[in-house]
Amino acid sequence: MTKVLVVDDVADNVKLLAYELADQGYDTIEASNGPQALELAKAERPDVILLDIMMPGMDGIEVCRRLKVDPILEPIPVIMVSAREREEDVIRGLDAGAYDYITKPFNSQIVAARVRSAARAKGAHDQIAILATTDSLTGLPNRNRLQEHLACCVASDRENDKFFALLLLDLDRFKEINDTFGHHYGDAVLRELNPRLSTAVRGHDTVARLGGDEFGILLPGVDRSGAVRTAERLLASLERPFVVEGQSVEIGTSIGIALYPEHGRDPATLMKRADVAMYASKRARSGHAVYTARQSDLNPERLTLISDLRRGIGEGQLLLHYQPKVDLATMRTTKVEALVRWLHPREGLIMPDQFIPQAEQMRLIKPLTLWVLETALAQCRAWHEAGIDLDVAVNLVPDSLQDSELVSTIADLLKSSGAAPDWLTLEITESAMMSDPAHARSALKRLHAMGVKIAIDDFGTGYSSLAHLKDLPVDEVKVDRSFVKDMSLNDRDACIVRTVIDLGHNLGLHVVAEGVEDSPTHALLTSLGSDIAQGYYYSRPLPATDIPDWIRRSTKSLAPVGMASQR
């Protein structure tokens, strides 16, 4: 049942609202001041909060602010209650992150409709959150979920989290099983892993499927010897052969162990080191291994490669490819996404996944971003001059929003390139909002005020939050590739995509589906009302020189069929 928290210092108002809401079938809880409201929100996790603005002591605006900085309470929609004549209060409330408002004296039909709308939004949010954090094959938590738990453990000051262990478990020769018996057989084996692994851990441990045949296990409050004992139990649970369709196979397993805080203090380092330990154990066929610095030897080739990048940026080794974003209503391309590549003199073409994360660590990301923006804007201007009205989207890493010079740099680049601000879209991930939301928000607002468009990239993989979107100057959401990929085969994925499309439209945003690879997916997206699509089905990322030709061809033939075959 939908639970509504009603907060007002005037007892009669609380009673009146609670009465109306109970009549509509809502479960209500009541608070008469700010601190009590925060406490109840934490303990009861209501679905909607009705919050009076004018209260003695901590007023509704302050309560709302505090709710919105708490990652757990933040998604709960807040409806502000204000006196009719105090419009400036309403504005302050919405600025503090409120979802909506109602005015006194109450019109019960409006109250009911606004609570219904907020409850629907919360329902959609919860649904996405669940779908986005579980693995559909095994029903286990997925990589996002494990990352969240890891981040919580690292940030927590609870006694039990002073130390913990992260285990990475990888099946040996799983690919052979898939190749020999077929994928459905491999899938059956993976499903069987959930009940087995669960018997080897405690109730509050997290076992997650990270993808393929790789699993991550988080053990709070466990030290080295405890982690080794658990690893041995996990290995024992997988020793018994797997029997599928009368076929019996044995599967070898390797586990790598990283310990907090000994081997790292942040999630990324711990994941990397558990991975290094896992490979060491695979090589040694030892079943499990605890991380040691010697194992990593930090692959010297990779390190020189990255130190080459600094020079590479200056010496013109980077290049941009552009992937069309196709308007599904007209099948026209009005925008392209710029994607960087590195043409290394020795190694050949290197894809961004291979150097962007390292560039971030090496602080090379700033010159790289600058180069990408400069090049993309110059290209965009050149297209416009040639009569091709193409806008361009550029990716930003999350840290860029924390860079205090970002806004002025972009303003300067727009001026010097002669490109109009609304030709540029910046694609950022939701995680960009996490570390310093106020700062990120203000940077986005200033960029948006200049006319630059903002897209939320990889939507659904992080802390998907309705409230963020409602509150931010966002023009576009891009549904993550991982949901789009199998949506024509997988109802859950299709359901997520549909929810995001509806949600995006309710918030007045353009919805983009990325990673469209085939015609059934294209057809389904069109019927669900997605605005824009992007993917190999339409076109791979292309060199700038191929774009005018693509535009010509795609305007001529309105049907996309056959486009995908042309590189």
- By CB under 5 A, which span of 7-15, 95-103, 389-397, 466-474 interacts with Ca ion? 389-397
Residue type, 383: W
Which residues contact ligand C2E (rule: CB under 6 A)?
323, 339-340, 351-353, 356, 372, 395-397, 427, 457-458, 481, 514-517, 534-536, 541
DSSP 297: T
**Choice from 308, 427, 471, 493 touching Ca ion (CB under 5 A):** 427
In the bound complex, which residue of the shown chain has the CB atom lying closest to ligand C2E?
535
Nearer to ligand C2E, 102 or 372 (CB): 372
Cross-sheet strand order for the sheet of 27-31: 27-31, 3-7, 48-52, 78-83, 100-104
Nearer to Ca ion, 163 or 322 (CB): 322
- Containing 278, the helix (H) or strand (E) segment is helix 267-284
Q: How far is the CB of 69 from ligand C2E (least distance, A)?
A: 27
Structural contact between residues 321 and 343, judged by C-beta atoms closer than 8 angstroms? no
Q: Which of residues 476-535 bind Ca ion (CB under 5 A)?
A: none
Nearer to ligand C2E, 99 or 423 (CB): 423
Most distant CA pair in the chain: distance in Å? 77
Q: Which residues contact 428 (CB under 8 A, 6 or more apart)?
A: 395, 396, 398, 400, 401, 444, 454, 455, 456, 457
Q: How far is the CB of 172 from ligand C2E (least distance, A)?
A: 27
Q: How far is the CB of 312 from ligand C2E (least distance, A)?
A: 14
372, interface contact from Ca ion, ligand C2E, none, CB < 5-8 Å by kind? ligand C2E
Q: Which two tokens stand for residue 181?
A: 């018996």
Residues written for the chain: 567
Nearer to ligand C2E, 163 or 537 (CB): 537
Nearer to ligand C2E, 61 or 542 (CB): 542
Q: How far is the CB of 392 from ligand C2E (least distance, A)?
A: 11
Interhelix angle 34-44/60-68, nearest 10 degrees: 30
- By CB under 5 A, which span of 77-85, 317-325, 425-433, 521-529 interacts with Ca ion? 425-433
- By CB under 5 A, which span of 384-392, 409-417, 420-428, 443-451 interacts with Ca ion? 420-428
Nearer to ligand C2E, 120 or 310 (CB): 310
Q: How far is the CB of 31 from ligand C2E (least distance, A)?
A: 43
**Choice from 457, 476, 493, 531 touching Ca ion (CB under 5 A):** 457
Provide the H-helix boundaries in 386-538: 406-417, 437-450, 466-471, 481-484, 491-506, 519-528
Number of H helices, E strands in the chain: 21, 22
Q: How far is the CB of 10 from ligand C2E (least distance, A)?
A: 50
Structural contact between residues 517 and 535, judged by C-beta atoms closer than 8 angstroms? yes
Q: Which two tokens stand for residue 106?
A: 């109450």
User: Under the criterion CB under 5 A, does residue 458 sit at the interface with Ca ion?
Assistant: yes
- By CB under 5 A, which span of 40-48, 54-62, 162-170, 391-399 interacts with Ca ion? 391-399
Q: How far is the CB of 175 from ligand C2E (least distance, A)?
A: 19
Q: What share of the chain is helix, strand, coil (3-state, %, to 5)?
A: 50, 20, 30
User: Under the criterion CB under 5 A, does residue 323 sit at the interface with Ca ion?
Assistant: no
Structural contact between residues 302 and 287, judged by C-beta atoms closer than 8 angstroms? no
Structural contact between residues 381 and 417, judged by C-beta atoms closer than 8 angstroms? yes
CA distances to 197, 213, 262, 355, 472 from 253, rounded to whole Å, are: 12, 10, 25, 30, 46
356, interface contact from Ca ion, ligand C2E, none, CB < 5-8 Å by kind? ligand C2E
Q: Total residues contacting Ca ion (rule CB under 5 A)? A: 4
Q: How far is the CB of 396 from ligand C2E (least distance, A)?
A: 6
536, interface contact from Ca ion, ligand C2E, none, CB < 5-8 Å by kind? ligand C2E
Footprint on this chain of Ca ion (rule: CB under 5 A): 395, 427, 457-458
